[in-house]
Structure 1
Amino acid sequence: MCGFVGFVSDSGALTGSEKNNIIRKMGDLIVHRGPDGEGFYTDDTVALGFRRLSIIDLQNGAQPMTSSNGRYVITFNGEIYNYKELRSKLENEYSMKFKTESDTEVLLETIVTYGMKALSMFRGMFSFIIYDKKEKKIFGARDPFGIKPLYYTKMQGSFMFASEIKAFLAHPHFKKEVNKDALKLYLTFQYTPIAETMFKDVFKLEPGHFFIYDGEKLDVRSYFNPEYKIDKKLNENEAALKIFDAVKESVKYHKIADVEVGSFLSGGADSSFITAIARPENTFSVGFAPGFFDEGPEAAEFCENLQLKNLHKEVSAEDFFEAVPKVQYYSDEPHANLSAVPLYFLSGMAAENVKVVMSGEGADEFFGGYETYHGCTLGTVYRKIVPKPIRHIISKGIGDRDIKGLNFLKRNTDRLTESYIGQAFIMNDDDANSILKDKYKSSISFKDITRPYFEKAEMYDEVHKKMYLDMNLWLPNDILLKADKMSMANSLELRVPYLDKEVWAVSSVLPEKYLVNREVTKKTFRKSTEKILPKEWVTRKKKGFPVPLAKWLKEQKYADRFREMFKKPFAKEFFDTDILNEWLDEHCAGKRMFHRQLYTVYAFLCWYEVYFVDTDITVAYN
């Protein structure tokens, strides 16, 4: 696992020594992604930089790496798990000779040999840049599910690209500016759901896409789109066996490394299934102070049965709040998923013991694991029987109360396409605009973001519609963003065996009845784990990662942190802080639950302070 940086500048815009100086400074800003080594390549057209975390072929495999014909140069972040098979194919069919044992060399020669179709041959997680020295073109690509990030921008005659946005700060042509169009959407989704990031004119290459830059024109294309080919005749026992075999094989591939591979472990089925198959020497768990959620006891019990070692980290409220600015820095963009903070601490603990861990991300999106997938058929019936005005009256009467049954009525107030945005719905359009200053209010609705995905998924049932939306928005922009950024902040490689193209091939044919019913989520997936997991792990309901912020925020010292942030001059540039303080007062008084809304604003302000106000902090974090 590594990180790369690079840029192409107009002819004569920068001298050779200036390029060398800039590319090294850009690399320094992502040193956490690769503390084991660095490498650079520059010529009259391009500058490439690389930071390495050595996992495979520890002695060789340095980057940037040049192809055997001398024409192409690559920088690559990720792992190609089937590189040995691809290497054998190239050796047998093209008599190719390899200089290293690295997957980087195999990736490069496969692209050189097969061109664009090579992207569908890779089994792994990746983002990479290949420079064609002859045609002076840049080719960049990102894996199908968006596990590894790739950002790019063009400013003042320089086309820049990197594994993290913060690398652009070292380039003299980079202009730092908040993207006004993204802020309101962030307040709704808790992440930036559009290709343009919170930094104006900085874009993320979307999952399953590649680009070609010829020095003037940027051509971005898709090579993968998740499509369901539902097999309604599929036998459930047969489906469960296929799931087991696919996951088992994927775990085998994800264990390939020249260093020890550990595993994150919660009390749920997802990570437990991976751990039971992989049997790593070390597992890692996290929880909160006594009286709050803690997955440690279940993890310890599970590891005791398997005779594995489990290390546990307890995160206090003080730990949490102290880490928020650092978490926002490493996230690149403001990110308000509360679980990113404990994940940062979990990754730090793991990195003290191993270089690589496996984790359970993707199982919920592939196999129907979220509670919001329950009752889709019943919801359709409810919306047909009860008139929309009555549904809205019922929803308004429920208010902020979080009560089983009532949540179903709230979720089904509007049609799916008008109400579902994924696993976090922080503020609706009116609430977001109500706290924004006029300069940042927007007529763009969350429906404008979700509509194109629902249109592509119109032929599916409601469960698959939701899963399709989550695969394209929630998974890459929230779940995988925090997984990559929090692990790499600690120089730890995080691998996700469920997000494998062969596992996807099995999950994409499952009919709705094998995903969820009124009683259980991930129905057939759970069945597939029965032969290897204890029954209580198979049947245990999904807990997520319930950070106790609602209770913490009722303590004066933590509420005061928010109040102090809202007093800062830059807070008033973006928000009506009088309304924010009213929300905070109501939350502290127990009148309404505003903790998620308030934290989303607080996380943005921490991000803004780090990147735009107290820039010395960015130096301290590196």
Structure 2
Amino acid sequence: MPGLVGFISEHTHDNQLLDGMVNSLKHEDWYRIDKHVSPPFSVARVHLGTFNPQPQPIFNEDRTLCLFMEGKIHGYDEEKRRLEGRHHFAFHNDPEFCLHLYEELGVSFLERLNGAFVLLICDLKQRKVILANDRYGLIRAYYAVNKDALLFAPEAKAILQDATFKKELNPEALVSYFAFGEFWADRTLFKGVHILPPASVLTYGNGELSVSQYWRFSYQPDYSLPERAMVEQLAEAFRRAVAVRMRDPLRYGVSLSGGLDCRSVLAAVEPEKRREIATYSYGPSYCDQVAIAKRVADKCGTRHRFMELKPEIIVENAERLVWLTDGRNHIEGSFLNPVHRQARTEVDVVFDGFVLDRTLGGSHLSKDLIHPGSKEELLSSVLRSMRLFSDDGLMRLFRPEYHGLVKEVPSSVLRAEFDKLSYADPSTAFDEFYVTTYVGYASSWHVPLRDVVEVSFPTVDNDLFDAIFKIPPEKRLNHLIHRQVIMSLSPELAGITYNKTALPASAPLVLWRYGKAYRRGRQMLKDLVWRTSRGRVYILNRTDYVDHAGWLRANDSWRRYFRTLLLSSDSRSREYLDQSYVGYLIAEHEAGRINASYRLMRIVTLEIFLRQFLT
């Protein structure tokens, strides 16, 4: 996958190691490679040739600094004009701007950057490097220190090309993953391999490593701001965020579903420019979301393409997904890479509605979480409720030799995240915790996309986020303000059905509650029919574009795949997990007595990971 890769070492000068690291990332023959080897620096950029295609690194005038960058920066025209009075610009691109801004401001220049990026600055005089990423960690960077060398890459497998690096599973990260369903902070499944957290600056030189954070999520709700002013500010910021990302002469696309996130992005595009965008949707042909996406596309006049998903696409591509993401993503999203391989024929850059349903839609919030009481009360509530496996479930899942970790890790990991909170305003404390942890993990879902296309993120534009941070949590709850923003941007798109309510986004909020209850009732009826018919009657799930729970019950390829991987005598996960409990989860799920699909998909992901990386 595209990104920055290499190592910094005063004693290791191994061109074969750099070549091996690069080759492990070159998943396509058409990838482009830029290299720079000048001990102690051995660095390469693997890229698609779309954003900033000019050769790298970029040097400053006296060649004491050079910079590699992967990603895209937006909206710096005025700042660049100021720099042009004191610096020479040969390429007029993002990395050149970043290098000269660093010369002026030092590492504080990162606070001014608006976009998705990872960059590496080599100080040739001081023989040190600075590795940094954007506010949200949208482009991954793994790193490890082995002996005197700093190794870094967009995929952990590149670091494993160092034959002297010991490959071991990180049991603490494994327990934490099964407790909460996500990887938080810098944790990975590899012991000694870390992922650079969002908004981080890593400095390495003379064998010394430091990692600091230059920005944090900070909600500052403005209760004096009228709703109409909130909506106007958000709508205008959204329009600017999309417009600034459409300046380059590239082919832009939007993935549509029945949801509101990407529809909001399309609504923020100037009406006369919508026809320039290619839209696409995916799912079973009978899925409601496919029909909704087609209505949105027709209303906007976009070139629209439908790609049918069948159950087999998940299991057929599961191993590639785990390999691409180094086990960080579970197999739920294994259709994303083949889908975007098809989209690539029409699209260079995909606009993503990343986390808008959380940040603006407040889908993670409830009244209890907005009024949580003390910090300890909130921590206890989260420890009980935000779980993939409960404490009892974890004890049953893991073999006895890991029970000590099972008892300690969930609470210690959660407390470490809570200790980072200011708790100055209790009403935004859960927001700060959730967005920090979820955003840091959720960006990994773009890895299967960025393997073949570039991704742009207008929903986390700096100015848009600044406007969102002013919205009181009560106004974001249940998409209260989000709905109004869509109506302001595009009343015609707001009038199209939202799949989670079966009603338009513009429908009264009270009706939304009934719509959600109707959706839940349909799913409960579907499960009841499956149970009472003892697996003879399967009602198609027309609501979602993937039906993990249903396919794991009714699809022979799914059932066979999960049972073969997890219950055979050669299953690698048996070393860590109680196979009889895994068998119990499969049987109870197939019978319709529980929905264990998300838990089982993560267990399958672990099994594949162990076979691919730790054999």
Q: Which range is displaced more, 187-196 or 100-109?
A: 187-196
- TM-superposed CA distance for 1:379, in Å, is 8.1
Cα distance in 2, alignment partners of residues 176 and 429 from structure 1: 29
1:331 corresponding residue in structure 2:
325
- Report what 2:297 is aligned to: 303
CA shift for structure 1 position 377 = 6.8
Of the candidates 420, 423, 436, which is equivalent to residue 458 of structure 1?
423
Which residue matches 1:190? 181
Gaps of 5+ in 2: 497-504, 520-542
| Cα distance in structure 1, aligned partners of 2:575 and 2:178 | 16
Q: CA RMSD in A?
A: 2.6
1:77-116 mapped onto 2 (5 Å cutoff): 77-92=70-85, 94=86, 96-116=87-107
Cα contact 2:379–2:418 (8 A) shared by 1:
yes
| Residue equivalent to 2:391 | 429
Distance (whole Å) between structure 2 residues aligned to residue 151 and residue 378 of structure 1: 34
Of 362, 369, 380, which residue of structure 2 is paired with 1:369? 362
Q: Which residue of 2 aligns with 1:559?
A: 559
Q: Secondary structure at the match of 1:529?
A: helix
Aligned length: 562
Aligned pair in 2 of structure 1 residues 558, 318: CA closer, same or farther (>3 Å)? same
Partner of 2:339: 346
| Residue correspondence of structure 1 range 412-427 to structure 2 within 5 A | 415-420=377-382, 425-427=387-389
The answer to whether structure 1 residue 180 and structure 2 residue 141 are counterparts is: no
The equivalent residue for 1:72 is 65
Change (3 A) 1:467 1:547: farther
- By how many angstroms is 1:36 displaced? 4.0
Report the secondary structure of 1:199's partner residue: coil
Matched, 1:44 2:45: no
Task: From 112, 116, 120, give the equivalent of 1:121.
Answer: 112
- 1:49-68 map, 5 Å: 49-56=44-51, 58=53, 61-68=54-61
Q: CA–CA distance in 1 between the matches of 2:360 and 2:544?
A: 19
Cα distance change on mapping 1:433 and 1:128 into 2, 3 Å: farther
Contact 1:3 1:33 in 2 (8 A): no
Aligned to 2:306: 312
Asked whether the 8 Å contact 1:284–1:346 carries over to 2, the reply is no
Query: CA offsets per residue over residues 149-188 of structure 1, 9 Å max, x none?
Result: 1111011332101122121122233222111111111112
Distance 1:378 1:223 in 2: 27
Partner of 1:410: none
Alignment partners' CA distance in 2, 1:85 and 1:160 = 36
Q: 1:6-45, aligned counterparts within 5 Å?
A: 6-11=6-11, 13-14=12-13, 19-32=14-27, 35-45=30-40
> Which residue pairs with 1:525 in the alignment?
482
Match of 2:456 in 1: 495
Per-residue Cα deviation, 1:413-463 (whole angstroms, up to 9, x for no partner): x9542233699631023312322123444133433223344451533344x
Q: CA deviation at 1:7?
A: 0.4
Are the equivalent residues in 1 in contact too, given 2:278–2:346 (CA < 8 A)?
Answer: no
Alignment partner, residue 281 of structure 2: 286
More deviation in 296-305 or 33-42? 33-42
Structure 1 equivalent of residue 540 of structure 2: none
Partner of 1:609: 611
1:110 shift after superposition: 1.1
In 2, Cα distance between equivalents of 1:607 and 1:539: 44
Q: 1:247 is matched with which residue?
A: 238
| Other-structure match for 2:537 | none
- Contact 2:64/2:123, CA 8 A, preserved across alignment: yes
Moved more, 185-194 or 37-46: 185-194
Amino acid at match of 2:471: L
Q: Is the 8 A contact 2:288 2:544 kept in 1?
A: no
Q: Once the 2 structures are TM-superposed, how far is the Cα of residue 140 of structure 1 from its aligned partner?
A: 0.9
The offset of 1:239, in angstroms, is 0.5
- Bigger drift between 25-34 and 71-80 goes to 25-34
Deviations 1:349-372 (A, max 9, x none): 2222211110101312321431x4
Structure 2 SS opposite 1:106? helix
**2:472 pairs with 1:511:** yes
Q: Secondary structure of 2:594's match?
A: coil
Q: What is the letter of the counterpart of residue 166 of structure 1?
A: K
**Correspondence 1:237 to 2:199:** no
Runs of 4+ in 1 over 4 A off after TM superposition: 377-380, 421-424, 540-546
For residues 222 and 191 of structure 2, the distance between their equivalents in structure 1, rounded to whole angstroms, comes to 44
| 1:236, distance to aligned residue in structure 2 (A) | 0.5
Distance in 1 of aligned mates of 2:588 and 2:199 = 44
Matches within 5 A, 1:194-273: 194-273=185-264
Contact 1:453–1:469 at 8 Å: present in 2 too?
Answer: yes
Residue from 536, 561, 574 that aligns with 2:495: 536
CA distance in 1, matches of 2:64, 2:252: 35
Measure, in 1, the Cα distance between the counterparts of 2:74 and 2:206.
Answer: 33
| Aligned residue number for residue 402 of structure 1 | none
The Cα of 1:602 is off from its aligned counterpart by: 0.9
Q: TM-score, normalised by structure 1?
A: 0.85
Give the 3 Å change call, closer, same or farther, for CA 195–609 of structure 1 in structure 2: same
Moved more, 126-135 or 170-179: 170-179
Partner amino acid for 1:449?
V
Distance in 2, Cα, partners of 1:269 & 1:29: 37
Measure how far apart 1:527 and its partner are.
Answer: 0.7
Q: Trace 1:146-161 onto structure 2 (pairs within 5 A).
A: 146-161=137-152
**What's 1:401 paired with?**
none
Asked if residue 163 in structure 1 is aligned to residue 154 in structure 2, the reply is yes
State the match for 1:470 in structure 2.
Answer: 434
How high is the sequence identity, in percent, across the aligned residues? Answer: 21
Aligned-pair distance for 1:34? 9.3
Moved more, 121-130 or 2-11: 2-11
Whether the aligned pair in 1 keeps the contact of 2:398 and 2:578 (CA below 8 Å) is: yes
> Secondary structure of 1:127's match?
strand
The 3 A distance-change label for structure 1 pair 425 and 310 is farther
Q: Does 1:136 align with 2:127?
A: yes
Mark the CA change 1:514 to 1:234 in structure 2 (over 3 Å): closer, same or farther: same
The one-letter code of the counterpart of 1:604 is: L
1:219 alignment partner, SS class = strand
Q: Tell me the SS of whatever aligns to 2:186.
A: coil
Structure 1: gaps spanning 5 or more residues: 385-413, 614-622
DSSP-derived class of the 2:184 partner = coil
